[in-house]
């Protein structure tokens, strides 16, 4: 597949002018005389039945030497052309060895990237390290995939090191490099999907019909055009566009260069969010709008409820809103008895269906019992290591270490009341001291402040909730609360989410200690002063309120 992609890049680049000209001429002559299908069929037959035609139509070239973007020459990823049929050009001891190593490293790299994404690996949220904290002593869970693969190779008599496997480093680098545009593209697709959903089914306060009429106005001319365009004309246009897109790369590239020079931001102007879906919010923008409406009406949205008990197994009520049909047909063409049997609770005494006996054996209680004992042993060992690091942080904090103070209480056991704080006050720490962050809006200028007088802050929140004025926090001085610091919400320039521990320590604490790791928040004002609050169980809820209260236009990064 990679070789075919490189052949396409060579053809589109027109660097091999004569070969590409013959391909282009044959294609458009066949297009003019409606002979494309016979041309493609004859080409496939020739490639199958007459092997010399393969080298004539597609002359060979080492895969690692061909640039997939320009179709020209590139330096092999391995730094040297040590093999002809590998993607990296890595040296090999015998033919096919480099390709096998690339395939193995590709799978291992994909597993490592996937595990890193699932684990929430995000270096930007890493707290500063002092070399002996819990995040430094905790193992890296995402190295598990590569470690298991290396162990398997070593058990097979191979040497899975970068010195012996020249494809290891280039393949890992390529996997991580290609993953960034893939993730960005996935985010763009998700945002566009959300915008389409909010355009077709808008939520107040956004207009009900504006976006739908705009979409319909774009689709309506296609209906009028379809009355005059025949299927022959449609296919003819599609095949011409495909041919021009394939062979017209010199024209297309020069046109794009001219556009980038003349209109530097032309791509932004053509994005759907700036044209067809302009003004349509994503789900995140819709949430921010609703939060700001609540703040403007002195009725902030409360934090989402937390469930301490599992949900009931009772079936949900199904009405005509969720299940109905058009006309006189029954829903899903099923009887009432069939629907009731499908909706009713599953009999727990009956095992769930699986795809085969091997899956049943893997799910059996006895399967992996010895392995689980080994895992429990390592869990206890890891728990001891992390607890030792946490204890060391307490000693360092008493001796004046600021980094250790920021880690105090991050993995402490918390009561249900601490998790239910908000929306006025939020339990947390500042410089290691326990207290609460609270928001005052009764004053002339809304502020966010921190105080170590937790009981006074709790009484203030209870009084405000009892009076039904959820956002009227009151002036700290009038309520007898003496804040350690206070920042006007309108003066906030930056809000940065910071991790209580590093991403890997979060996983280790959750696995070995079965505890929640509370994150923190950095608040920066327009003067550049920074206030840091740590061990915040409801960090995201405080972040949402601060973002929604002011009139700032936020930029996420």
pLDDT digit string, tens, across residues 453-503: 877 777 766 666 555 555 544 444 445 678 888 899 888 999 998 877 776
pTM of the predicted structure, to 2 decimals = 0.78
Domain parsing of the chain, residue ranges: 2-180, 404-549
> Could you report the per-residue pLDDT of 417-428, keeping only the tens digit for each?
666 666 788 888
* Residue of 542, 534, 528, 521 lying closest to 439 (CA atoms): 542
What mean pLDDT comes out for the span 511-528? 84
* Confidence class for position 123, pLDDT limits 50, 70, 90: low
Question: How many angstroms separate the CA atoms of 424 and 439, rounded?
Answer: 5
The tokens 């840091």 sit on which residue?
A: 532
Q: Is 96 left (phi over 0), alpha (psi -120 to 50) or beta?
A: left
Q: What is the pLDDT of residue 465?
A: 59
Among 145-149, 200-204, 237-241, 257-261, which stretch is predicted with the lowest mean pLDDT?
145-149
3-state secondary structure 465-506: HHCCCCCCCCCCCCCCCCCCEEEEHHHEEEEEEECCCCHHHH
Residue of 471, 474, 423, 425 whose CA lies nearest to 450: 425
**Pick the residue with more confidence: 355 or 48?**
48
Residue 397 pLDDT > 90 = no
- For residue 346, is pLDDT > 80? no
What lies within 8 Å, CB to CB, of 488 at 6+ separation is 445, 446, 447, 525
Confidence of residue 160 (pLDDT cuts 50, 70, 90): low
Average pLDDT over residues 243-255: 93
**What CATH code would you report for 404-549?**
2.30.29.30
Q: What is the pLDDT of residue 377?
A: 66
Instruction: Output the six-digit token pair for 370.
Output: 């010895």
Which of the listed ranges 233-237, 341-345, 372-376 does the model predict with the highest average pLDDT? Answer: 233-237
Q: Coil, helix or strand for 522?
A: strand
pLDDT at 400 over 50: yes
412 pLDDT tier (thresholds 50, 70, 90): confident
Cis bond leading into 205, ω under 30°?
yes
DSSP output for 387-411: HHHHHHHHHHHHTT-HHHHHTTTTT
Q: What is the pLDDT of residue 194?
A: 94
Q: Is 116 exposed, middle or buried (0-12, 13-18, 19+ CB in 10 A)?
A: buried
Residue 130 has pLDDT above 90, yes or no: no
**For residue 366, pLDDT beyond 60:** no
- Write down the mean pLDDT value for the chain: 81
Cα 290 to Cα 542: distance, rounded to the nearest angstrom: 15
Please count the other Cβ atoms lying within 10 Å of the Cβ belonging to residue 59: 11
Q: How far is CA 408 from CA 360, 384, 398, 510, in A?
A: 45, 17, 11, 17
To the nearest whole percent, how much of the chain has pLDDT over 90?
Answer: 24
CA distance 519 to 135: 13
Q: What is the pLDDT of residues 295-335, one digit of tens each?
A: 888 888 777 777 677 777 788 888 888 888 877 788 888 88
- Assess whether pLDDT exceeds 80 at residue 368: no
What φ, ψ does residue 326 adopt, rounded to 5°?
-95, 140
Residue 141 has pLDDT above 80, yes or no: no
d(CA 218, CA 103): 46
CA-to-CA distance for 363 and 354, rounded, in angstroms? 10
- Is the pLDDT at 372 greater than 70, yes or no? no
Least confident of 104-113, 310-319, 350-359, 498-507: 350-359
State residue 514's pLDDT score: 75
Place of tokens 């070399």: 131
**How far does CA 552 lie from the centroid of its chain?**
26
């Amino acid at each position: 597949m990679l070789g075919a992609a490189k052949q396409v890049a060579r053809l589109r680049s027109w660097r091999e002018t004569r070969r590409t000209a013959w391909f282009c001429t044959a294609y458009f002559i066949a297009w003019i005389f409606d002979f494309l299908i016979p041309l493609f069929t004859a080409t496939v037959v020739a490639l199958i039945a007459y092997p010399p035609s393969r080298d004539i139509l597609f002359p060979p070239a080492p895969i690692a030497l061909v640039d997939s973007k320009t179709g020209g020459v590139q330096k092999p990823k391995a730094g040297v052309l040590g093999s002809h049929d590998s993607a990296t050009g890595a040296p090999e001891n015998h033919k096919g060895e480099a390709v096998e190593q690339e395939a193995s490293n590709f799978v291992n790299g994909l597993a490592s990237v996937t595990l890193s994404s699932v684990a929430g690996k995000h270096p930007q949220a890493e707290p500063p390290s002092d070399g002996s904290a819990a995040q430094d002593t905790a193992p890296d869970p995402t190295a598990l995939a590569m470690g298991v693969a290396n162990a398997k190779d070593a058990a097979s008599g191979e040497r899975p090191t970068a010195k012996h496997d020249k494809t290891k480093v280039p393949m890992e680098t390529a996997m991580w490099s290609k993953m960034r545009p893939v993730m960005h593209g996935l985010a763009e697709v998700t945002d566009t999907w959300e915008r389409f959903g909010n355009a077709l089914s808008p939520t107040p306060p956004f207009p009900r019909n504006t976006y739908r009429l705009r979409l319909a106005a774009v689709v309506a001319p296609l209906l009028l055009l379809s009355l005059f365009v025949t299927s022959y004309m449609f296919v003819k246009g599609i095949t011409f566009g495909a041919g021009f897109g394939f062979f017209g790369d010199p024209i297309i590239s020069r046109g794009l260069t001219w556009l980038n020079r003349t209109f530097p931001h032309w791509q932004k102007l053509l994005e759907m969010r700036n044209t067809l879906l302009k003004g349509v919010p994503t789900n995140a923008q819709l949430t921010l709008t609703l939060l700001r409406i609540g703040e403007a009406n002195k009725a902030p949205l409360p934090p989402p409820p937390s469930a301490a008990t599992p949900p009931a197994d009772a079936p949900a009520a199904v009405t005509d809103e969720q299940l109905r049909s058009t006309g006189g047909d029954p829903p899903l063409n099923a009887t009432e008895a069939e629907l009731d049997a499908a909706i009713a609770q599953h009999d727990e005494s009956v095992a769930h269906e699986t795809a085969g006996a091997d899956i049943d054996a893997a799910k059996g209680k006895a399967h992996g019992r010895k392995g689980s004992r080994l895992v429990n042993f390592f869990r206890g060992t890891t728990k001891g290591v992390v607890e030792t690091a946490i204890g060391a942080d307490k000693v360092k904090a008493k001796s004046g270490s600021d980094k250790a103070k920021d880690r105090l209480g991050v993995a402490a056991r918390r009561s249900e009341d601490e998790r239910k704080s908000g929306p006025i006050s939020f339990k947390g720490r500042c410089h290691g001291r326990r207290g609460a962050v609270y928001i005052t809006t009764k004053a002339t200028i809304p502020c966010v402040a921190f105080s170590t007088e937790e009981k006074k802050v709790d009484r203030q929140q209870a009084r405000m909730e009892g009076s039904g004025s959820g956002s009227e926090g009151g002036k700290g001085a009038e309520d007898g609360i003496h804040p350690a610091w206070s920042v006007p919400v309108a003066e906030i320039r930056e809000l940065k989410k910071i991790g209580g521990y590093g991403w890997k320590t979060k996983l280790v604490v959750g696995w070995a200690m079965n505890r929640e790791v509370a994150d923190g928040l950095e608040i920066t004002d327009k003067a550049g002063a920074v206030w840091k609050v740590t061990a915040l169980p409801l960090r995201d809820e405080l972040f949402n309120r601060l973002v929604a209260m002011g009139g700032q236009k936020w930029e996420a990064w």
